[in-house]
């Protein structure tokens, strides 16, 4: 297999398969794009399984709609946000995000703007990674540059993981990945969780067990006894223990 991004995508898809239930799934009472933004913001600097528990607590308190969140008391929100990064700060900023979404006419209006990326970036707590995640998962196929992508593609020698977000995004956008970028993002995340771990990648052994997700099908079929990373034959960092 040649070491190009399309070959990487094909190998990862063959190993992990498709997961139509990957995200979003937990909040059927709100529109999909609302759950994407809420989950995307809460997932910043947090593990997804912890964010799921935050979302389920907010759901139980009827605090997942923008009007409810805009009116929420940060003192009430703070304990519910345990598991997300910086709960007191998020509790103060989440109502501001909700109010901004409402002021902008809601997520459909934001995504239908002449420049939806700029409209997303104008929201509090929304940076390039969250904005691109929203775009990628709502039908605009754009690269999502996150820590998993930097680690996996960096170890494979396809990108410089120290590049700026904008430079990496531009480099990736010119590549033919052969898959929608949201699907490739999912595969890179799974690879970063199951095989290409930080520090000690599992190159030639079974993948790391699934984590404890609220969606019971998520990752459940991954890395059944396998012979290791599907990219090990072409990876220059195979077996190398490193922080990068
Ligand atoms: S061979 Fe190892 S370091 Fe390379 S992509 Fe696979 S898991 Fe990561």
Q: What is the pLDDT of residues 94-138, one digit of tens each?
A: 999 999 999 999 999 999 999 999 999 999 999 999 999 999 999
239 alpha carbon – ligand 1 mean position (Å): 7
pLDDT digits (tens, 9 = 90+) for 138-164: 999 999 999 999 999 999 999 999 999
Q: Is 15 in the pocket of ligand 1 (CB under 6 A)?
A: no
3 alpha carbon – ligand 1 mean position (Å): 13
Banded model confidence at residue 25, pLDDT cuts 50, 70, 90? confident
Looking at every residue in the chain, the average pLDDT score rounds to 93
More confident residue, 227 or 85: 85
pLDDT at 217: 86
What share of the chain has pLDDT > 70, as a percent?
97
65 alpha carbon – ligand 1 mean position (Å): 40
212 alpha carbon – ligand 1 mean position (Å): 23
172 alpha carbon – ligand 1 mean position (Å): 20
Q: Is 12 in the pocket of ligand 1 (CB under 6 A)?
A: no
Topology of the domain comprising 1-21+141-244: Endonuclease Iii, domain 2 (1.10.1670)
pLDDT at 202: 94
Which segment of 10-14, 182-186, 206-210 scores lowest on mean pLDDT?
206-210
pLDDT digits (tens, 9 = 90+) for 191-239: 999 999 998 899 999 988 888 888 888 888 777 678 899 999 999 888 7
pLDDT at 241: 64
Banded model confidence at residue 244, pLDDT cuts 50, 70, 90? very low
Q: Is 203 in the pocket of ligand 1 (CB under 6 A)?
A: yes
pLDDT at 235: 93
Q: What are the boundaries of each domain within the chain?
A: 1-21+141-244, 32-137
Banded model confidence at residue 243, pLDDT cuts 50, 70, 90? very low
Q: Is 232 in the pocket of ligand 1 (CB under 6 A)?
A: yes
Q: Is 151 in the pocket of ligand 1 (CB under 6 A)?
A: no
Domain 32-137 class, CATH top level = mainly alpha
* pLDDT of residue 168 exceeding 70: yes
47 alpha carbon – ligand 1 mean position (Å): 21
HEC-encoded secondary structure of the chain? CCCCHHHHHHHHHHHHCCCCCCCCCCCCCCCHHHHHHHHHHHCCCCCHHHHHHHHHHHHHCCCCCHHHHHCCCHHHHHHHCECECCHHHHHHHHHHHHHHHHHCCCHHHHHCCCCHHHHHHCCCCCCHHHHHHHHHHCCCCCCCCCHHHHHHHHHCCCCCCCCCHHHHHHHHHCCCCCCCHHHHHHHHHHHHHHCCCCECCCCCCCCCCCCCCCCCCCCCCCCCCCCCCCCCCCCCCCCCCECC
* pLDDT of residue 76 exceeding 90: yes
pLDDT at 242: 55
Q: Which atom of ligand 1 is nearest to the CA of 240?
A: 3
Average pLDDT, stretch 66-95?
A: 97
pTM recorded for the entire structure: 0.93
């Amino acid at each position: 297999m040649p070491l190009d991004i399309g070959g990487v995508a094909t190998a990862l898809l063959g190993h992990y398969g498709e997961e139509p239930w990957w995200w979003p799934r937990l909040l059927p009472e709100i529109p999909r794009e609302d759950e994407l933004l809420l989950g995307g913001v809460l997932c910043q600097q947090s593990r997804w399984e912890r964010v799921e528990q935050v979302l389920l607590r907010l759901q139980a308190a009827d605090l997942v709609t923008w009007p409810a969140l805009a009116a929420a008391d940060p003192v009430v929100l703070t304990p519910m946000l345990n598991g997300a990064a910086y709960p007191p700060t998020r509790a103060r900023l989440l109502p501001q995000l909700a109010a901004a979404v409402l002021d902008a006419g809601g997520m459909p209006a934001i995504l239908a703007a002449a420049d939806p990326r700029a409209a997303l970036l104008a929201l509090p707590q929304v940076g390039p990674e969250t904005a691109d995640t929203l775009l990628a998962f709502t039908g605009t196929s754009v690269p999502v540059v996150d820590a998993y992508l930097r680690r996996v593609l960096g170890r494979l020698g396809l990108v410089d993981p120290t590049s700026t977000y904008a430079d990496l995004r531009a480099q990736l956008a010119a590549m033919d990945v052969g898959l929608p970028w949201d699907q490739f993002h999912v595969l890179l995340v799974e690879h970063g969780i199951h095989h290409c771990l930080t520090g000690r990648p599992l190159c030639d052994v079974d993948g790391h067990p699934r984590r404890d997700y609220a969606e019971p099908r998520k990752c459940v079929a991954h890395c059944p006894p396998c012979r290791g990373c599907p990219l090990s034959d072409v990876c220059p960092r195979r077996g190398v223990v490193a922080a990068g």
